[in-house]
A and B are shown apart, each in its own frame.
Chain A
Amino acid sequence: MSKSIWLGNELGEATESFQIGSTVFIAGRGLHPATLYDFHLLDPQAEGKKVLLASYTTDRHGVLPSTALIPYVGLAHGGDGNSRTYAEACKALHGRTLQIHVESRHKDDRDFKELKCAVSSRNRESWIVSCDGKGRLQTGIEQAREPLFVALHNFPKGCVRVYLVPRQFGWRVGDPIEPAYAPSGETHSWTFHHDGSEERLVELENTRNLQPGSYQFIARAFLPGWYEADEEHLLATDIVSDRRFASLVVRLPFHKRFGFGNGIVLTPEIAGRPLAHRPYFRFVNNFPKGTDVYAALDPDALPAGLVSQRAAIYVIQHKTSAQWTASSALNDISGPGMTPAPKIVPIVPGCVNWNTTLVWPNPQVPGKYDIAIDFGNNAADPLNFVSDASLDPPMDMIDGYIRVGFYVTDDPSLPGPYAGSIGQHDYSLGTVQVPSTDAGPTPTSSLPLTATIRYPAQANGVDSAVASGTFPLVVIMHGNSGYDTSYLGYDYLLDHLASHGFIAMSIYAPVGVMIETRARAILAHINIMSQNNANPGLFQGHIDLGKIGIAGHSRGGESVVRAARINTAEALGWGIQCCLSIAPTDYFHYGDPGIPIAVIYGSNDGDVAGTWPDRTCFNIYDEAGRPRSFVFVYGATHDQFNTVWAPTSLTVESDIAASDVPHLISLTDHENVAKGYVTAFMQAHLQGRDEQLEYFSANLKPSLVSSLQIHASHQVAGSRLLDDFEQLPHNPATNSVGGAVTATALSTLAENALRTLDIHSPHVTSGGEVAWQNVSGKYISAVPISSKDLSSYAVLAFRVTQKYGSAENPHGQPQDLFVRLTDGGGKTRAIRTSIFTDIPFPYERGFTDMIKSALKTVRIPLASFAIANLGAQDVDLTNVASVSFEFDANPTGHIEIDDIEFSQ
């Protein structure tokens, strides 16, 4: 392939002609792989000086993805940091040809012709641009400070409708138009008559009615009565303000985003991946090894005084708070062999939004990383821009810092190293009698000993020789159905686990048997596998019996808890290290299994849904000891984790309403959820892969389910409790360790069993209920002197949910709050919860009595409160006096909280 680099427009078409206000993109192919290329503007008005526009990298194939090079030609004016009106831009640039010089950092790659960019005024085509009241380009504004204007150019006489839509990194004809919502619930679209003038300024809205976020405009011209006027998808004739990046970022004022003069450095989401379909780009934090890392940015707050028109992007290894304290240096590792290769990107002053940029091609080293944006010397003139390779708050930004920006992973949802050499073995060893109730030994159930096994092998095939070495054992027990083949419904999971180095088996239980029988079946099959390990045969010497994990689905999910307890109570000695329950029942409330447990539960479970047996899958979690994890999967059902049950899922799961069906996730999604989370859990507890616990504790999602809404909870042993709200009689004015709880400007403060406080609560614990109706609301829980030294703990954790049905929670919106720590010396700092995770709106389903106000854990590193930070007070973690929840983020809200604690 011949090497070439070319200029293009936002539709990806190669061109050398650009109209005022359009954006110049650069792209290439046949170039050196993973190599930096510098693009300079040769400025004849600056005596031919070269102005660095950008430094971009090619991917592993030598392709330079199409990336913005000169945004808003002529409108975003270089030099003084101001933007221009269209007329001013035409006067300055119409008829000029800009020259762009390309340089490769590769020594054998120097012979590029200069690219030409001919600039002209607009022809008669219609276009729309975000502007201020004087018609000057305005791509970022603070909420409630300025009115919202757009400039319409060349729209025909007739009607015009303008939609404000959440930003997509791409638009295609047919994409749904889903206008942004105002806090009142009204959508943002405006229809007006247009007199046909060539240029028209239109004031649309006061920005106090706009939610902070990133937006684009879509303008539609039509005649009264036009048949497509109300179409809710993008028409070929619609005009989109910008197709590849945000046209307008509505930001919170800096002090509000980071609160109370404290906060931490700007930590927006930056790392992500382009998609082939809408929304065309998604921010993610999991990059399976070899996945190109892209970056995009629409900051939701900007510090005052940011005038730079260039920024440097650094991909760095994640640093501990101690490392940050020691040095703010940014050491980029995104070049070949982890060598430095920081990128330079052009930005629009006052906005800083830019489109997707490849920042790390083909990463090969699993680990934790951050992406930092360095504004260097913050020079208004790009000619003078210099990166200083240092993170300097409050100006510079970072996706990461205290939290992890992104992970390069051996992803648990992807096939493991043994994929392609998986053995299969089935056995059926007759029938034994086992107790059928936990009051046993009689009555008994007749239990056929039937199982199917997948294992790492020397080659694919039935009874193929086991691969060399010993492997942990995973036993899966299915739930109840009318199918005698239920145990064959997890083949996908067995294959997957085997590919990751587990001997994985699914075992049979007769139709209708209850929990005890299933638990006894698990133990009986472990005994069989123990004999197989000891005796000559396929598995001899290959099973690590000290590393056994048990998993179950539905009744099987409850039976793993029972099996773990029997193993301990009857001193059976099997090396069961962990258990995992998918959509478990909880008939018998066995309680703590005594080993680590994880629960996976679908928000649209139509069987164990809350009406029968008047319990939900949260019971098993709430009743378990520590460590415990919970994975709440929005849109998942009960049956679809089992492929035998899946075809009849909608018939059997009678608690799925017809209106739920369009919102259900797919069968493949269910499988990927199970593959990702079961594998990560078993890797953590059976293969010593502690880092995989971050799929439960750190908002990390397996890559194949990154598009799903999954809310994970994780609680560890050895925590220091501040308040679990269980003390009797309930008293909201005191926490569990005797500290005073005080409230300021709260409309509700209560403590009780959560099911008493909220009919939508699925929990069997007590908790606190807090509501506020203005931003002055505060909840302050005092830390007694005996508990003040928190220096040996890593995180402040609590469980929280929005209360479903409360008018104080904006419908469908995530909730947010600040958490403040204050020390005995009066030093104090507040951290916004959404920096670490969201507090989602409860999943809505057709049968409203099954909507759940489901708690999830928030884990805020204590280092957030103590790390050195410009303008912020450093809290003394050896002398903490109080923990506060402050409700400055949203004017109203209604939440439930539980388990406020300090932990690892």
Chain B
Amino acid sequence: MARNPLPLTHYEAEMVRMPRREGEDKIIEALRVIVYSPMLPQRAIEPELLIGKAIAARVSIARDQHSIKGYFFELPVEGQTIRVRYGDSQEGELRERFFRKTIRPLPKECAQ
């Protein structure tokens, strides 16, 4: 268990198109998960975003340090916990769990 708590408030999930690796031409569909928090500090330690045991790829903290996002190339298991952690230093878990019905499907239009 981490030494310090990390408060998390809610999450959003949506399907996106992207290359599995940067620079690859082949485009796949992936799940983007954004987790919100009052404060997600930019630290020396890289944060991890997890759903159950699945670890998100390409994790990044928003410029305002209020959200973190990551990508899953396979859909995580239904009903798993959503966590963000900085090694064993700081960790938070959302009260709500991951459910596929919350995923926004791929858009068909050029939405603003």
Tell me which residues from 3 to 41 in chain B have a Cβ below 8 Å from any Cβ of chain A. 15-18, 27, 30, 32, 38-39
Q: Which residues of A contact B39 (CB under 8 A)?
A: 658
Q: Is A256 an interface residue (CB 8 A)?
A: no
Q: Is A278 an interface residue (CB 8 A)?
A: no
Q: Which residues of B contact A233 (CB under 8 A)?
A: 63
Is the Cβ of B63 less than 8 Å from the Cβ of A232? yes
Cβ 8 A contact of B110, one of A189, A192, A658: A192
Q: Which residues of B contact A232 (CB under 8 A)?
A: 62-63
Cβ 8 A contact of A224, one of B32, B62, B109: B109
Kindly provide the distance from the CB of A77 to the nearest chain B CB, expressed in whole angstroms: 35
Q: How far is the CA of A190 from the CA of B110 in the complex (A)?
A: 10
Q: Is A440 an interface residue (CB 8 A)?
A: no
Q: How far is the CA of A223 from the CA of B65 in the complex (A)?
A: 27
Q: Which residues of B contact A658 (CB under 8 A)?
A: 38-39
Is the Cβ of B38 less than 8 Å from the Cβ of A225? no
Cβ 8 A contact of B15, one of A158, A189, A225, A662: A225
Is the Cβ of A193 less than 8 Å from the Cβ of B32? no
Is the Cβ of A227 less than 8 Å from the Cβ of B17? yes
Q: How far is the CA of A228 from the CA of B71 in the complex (A)?
A: 12
Is the Cβ of B111 less than 8 Å from the Cβ of A227? no
Counting contact residues on chain A (CB < 8 A from B), the size range is: 20 to 34
Is the Cβ of B112 less than 8 Å from the Cβ of A225? no
Minimal Cβ-Cβ distance residue in A for B109: A224
Is the Cβ of B110 less than 8 Å from the Cβ of A158? yes
Q: Is B45 an interface residue (CB 8 A)?
A: no
Q: Is B43 an interface residue (CB 8 A)?
A: no
Q: Is A612 an interface residue (CB 8 A)?
A: no
Is the Cβ of B110 less than 8 Å from the Cβ of A159? yes
Q: Is B106 an interface residue (CB 8 A)?
A: yes
> When A159-B110, A192-B110 are in contact, do A225 and B16 touch as well, CB less than 8 Å?
yes
Q: How far is the CA of A176 from the CA of B63 in the complex (A)?
A: 8
Is the Cβ of A224 less than 8 Å from the Cβ of B30? no
Is the Cβ of A226 less than 8 Å from the Cβ of B65? no
Is the Cβ of A191 less than 8 Å from the Cβ of B110? yes
Minimal Cβ-Cβ distance residue in A for B65: A662
Q: How far is the CA of A223 from the CA of B27 in the complex (A)?
A: 11
Q: Which of A193, A222, A227, A233 has the most CB of B within 10 A?
A: A227
Is the Cβ of A226 less than 8 Å from the Cβ of B18? yes
Q: How far is the CA of A881 from the CA of B10 in the complex (A)?
A: 64
Main SS at interface, chain B: loop
Q: Which residues of A contact B63 (CB under 8 A)?
A: 176, 232-233
Q: How far is the CA of A854 from the CA of B109 in the complex (A)?
A: 48
Minimal Cβ-Cβ distance residue in A for B62: A232
Tell me which residues from 44 to 80 in chain B have a Cβ below 8 Å from any Cβ of chain A. 62-65, 71
> When A176-B63, A658-B39, A662-B65 are in contact, do A227 and B110 touch as well, CB less than 8 Å?
no
Interface string of B72-112 (1 = CB under 8 A from A): 00000000000000000000000000000000001111111
Is the Cβ of B112 less than 8 Å from the Cβ of A223? no
Q: Which residues of B contact A176 (CB under 8 A)?
A: 63
Is the Cβ of A193 less than 8 Å from the Cβ of B109? yes
Q: Which residues of B contact A160 (CB under 8 A)?
A: 110
Q: Which residues of A contact B17 (CB under 8 A)?
A: 223-227
Tell me which residues from 709 to 764 in chain A have a Cβ below 8 Å from any Cβ of chain B. none
Q: Which residues of A contact B38 (CB under 8 A)?
A: 658
> When A176-B63, A224-B106 are in contact, do A191 and B112 touch as well, CB less than 8 Å?
yes
Q: How far is the CA of A232 from the CA of B109 in the complex (A)?
A: 20
Kindly provide the distance from the CB of B68 to the nearest chain A CB, expressed in whole angstroms: 14
Main SS at interface, chain A: strand
Kindly provide the distance from the CB of A278 to the nearest chain B CB, expressed in whole angstroms: 13
Is the Cβ of A189 less than 8 Å from the Cβ of B112? yes
Q: How far is the CA of A375 from the CA of B108 in the complex (A)?
A: 53
Kindly provide the distance from the CB of B75 to the nearest chain A CB, expressed in whole angstroms: 16
> When A233-B63, A662-B65 are in contact, do A227 and B18 touch as well, CB less than 8 Å?
yes
Is the Cβ of B112 less than 8 Å from the Cβ of A224? no
Minimal Cβ-Cβ distance residue in A for B69: A227
Q: How far is the CA of A161 from the CA of B39 in the complex (A)?
A: 30
Q: How far is the CA of A159 from the CA of B27 in the complex (A)?
A: 16
Minimal Cβ-Cβ distance residue in A for B112: A191
Minimal Cβ-Cβ distance residue in A for B17: A225
Kindly provide the distance from the CB of A263 to the nearest chain B CB, expressed in whole angstroms: 40
Q: Which residues of B contact A662 (CB under 8 A)?
A: 64-65
Q: Which residues of A contact B15 (CB under 8 A)?
A: 225
Kindly provide the distance from the CB of A359 to the nearest chain B CB, expressed in whole angstroms: 35
Kindly provide the distance from the CB of B49 to the nearest chain A CB, expressed in whole angstroms: 15
Q: How far is the CA of A224 from the CA of B27 in the complex (A)?
A: 12
Is the Cβ of A227 less than 8 Å from the Cβ of B30? yes
> When A223-B17, A227-B17 are in contact, do A191 and B111 touch as well, CB less than 8 Å?
yes
Is the Cβ of A227 less than 8 Å from the Cβ of B106? no
Q: How far is the CA of A658 from the CA of B40 in the complex (A)?
A: 12
Is the Cβ of B106 less than 8 Å from the Cβ of A225? yes
Minimal Cβ-Cβ distance residue in A for B106: A225
Q: How far is the CA of A233 from the CA of B61 in the complex (A)?
A: 13
Minimal Cβ-Cβ distance residue in B for A194: B110
Q: Which residues of A contact B107 (CB under 8 A)?
A: 224-225
Tell me which residues from 499 to 557 in chain A have a Cβ below 8 Å from any Cβ of chain B. none
Is the Cβ of A227 less than 8 Å from the Cβ of B16? yes
Q: How far is the CA of A191 from the CA of B32 in the complex (A)?
A: 21
Kindly provide the distance from the CB of A156 to the nearest chain B CB, expressed in whole angstroms: 13
Q: Which residues of A contact B65 (CB under 8 A)?
A: 662
Kindly provide the distance from the CB of A179 to the nearest chain B CB, expressed in whole angstroms: 12
Is the Cβ of B112 less than 8 Å from the Cβ of A193? no
Cβ 8 A contact of A193, one of B30, B62, B71, B110: B110
Kindly provide the distance from the CB of B37 to the nearest chain A CB, expressed in whole angstroms: 12
Minimal Cβ-Cβ distance residue in A for B27: A223
Q: Which residues of B contact A158 (CB under 8 A)?
A: 110
Q: How far is the CA of A190 from the CA of B111 in the complex (A)?
A: 10
Kindly provide the distance from the CB of B43 to the nearest chain A CB, expressed in whole angstroms: 14
Q: How far is the CA of A158 from the CA of B39 in the complex (A)?
A: 36
Q: How far is the CA of A774 from the CA of B62 in the complex (A)?
A: 40
Kindly provide the distance from the CB of B58 to the nearest chain A CB, expressed in whole angstroms: 9
Is the Cβ of A227 less than 8 Å from the Cβ of B71? yes
Q: Which residues of B contact A189 (CB under 8 A)?
A: 112
Minimal Cβ-Cβ distance residue in B for A176: B63
Interface string of A145-180 (1 = CB under 8 A from B): 000000000000011110000000000000010000
Tell me which residues from 207 to 238 in chain A have a Cβ below 8 Å from any Cβ of chain B. 222-228, 232-233
Minimal Cβ-Cβ distance residue in A for B110: A159
Is the Cβ of A224 less than 8 Å from the Cβ of B18? no
Kindly provide the distance from the CB of A656 to the nearest chain B CB, expressed in whole angstroms: 14
Q: Which residues of A contact B18 (CB under 8 A)?
A: 226-228
Is the Cβ of A224 less than 8 Å from the Cβ of B71? no
Q: How far is the CA of A228 from the CA of B18 in the complex (A)?
A: 8
Q: Which of A158, A176, A662 has the most CB of B within 10 A?
A: A662
Q: How far is the CA of A227 from the CA of B14 in the complex (A)?
A: 10
Interface string of A11-33 (1 = CB under 8 A from B): 00000000000000000000000
Kindly provide the distance from the CB of A234 to the nearest chain B CB, expressed in whole angstroms: 12
Kindly provide the distance from the CB of B61 to the nearest chain A CB, expressed in whole angstroms: 12
Q: How far is the CA of A352 from the CA of B73 in the complex (A)?
A: 51
Q: Which residues of B contact A193 (CB under 8 A)?
A: 109-110
Q: How far is the CA of A429 from the CA of B109 in the complex (A)?
A: 80
Q: How far is the CA of A222 from the CA of B106 in the complex (A)?
A: 13
Kindly provide the distance from the CB of B63 to the nearest chain A CB, expressed in whole angstroms: 6
Kindly provide the distance from the CB of B23 to the nearest chain A CB, expressed in whole angstroms: 10
> When A233-B63, A662-B65 are in contact, do A227 and B32 touch as well, CB less than 8 Å?
yes
Q: How far is the CA of A158 from the CA of B15 in the complex (A)?
A: 18
Minimal Cβ-Cβ distance residue in B for A159: B110
Beyond A222-B110, A224-B106: 13 further Cβ-contacts under 8 Å? Answer: A161-B112, A191-B110, A191-B111, A224-B17, A224-B111, A225-B106, A225-B107, A226-B17, A227-B16, A227-B30, A227-B71, A658-B39, A662-B64
* 21 A-B pairs whose Cβ atoms sit less than 8 Å apart in the complex: A158-B110, A159-B110, A161-B110, A161-B112, A176-B63, A189-B112, A191-B111, A193-B109, A222-B110, A224-B17, A224-B107, A224-B110, A225-B16, A226-B18, A227-B16, A227-B18, A227-B30, A227-B71, A228-B18, A232-B63, A658-B39
Question: Which 6 A-B pairs give the minimum distances between C-beta atoms?
Answer: A159-B110, A227-B18, A227-B16, A225-B106, A191-B112, A225-B17
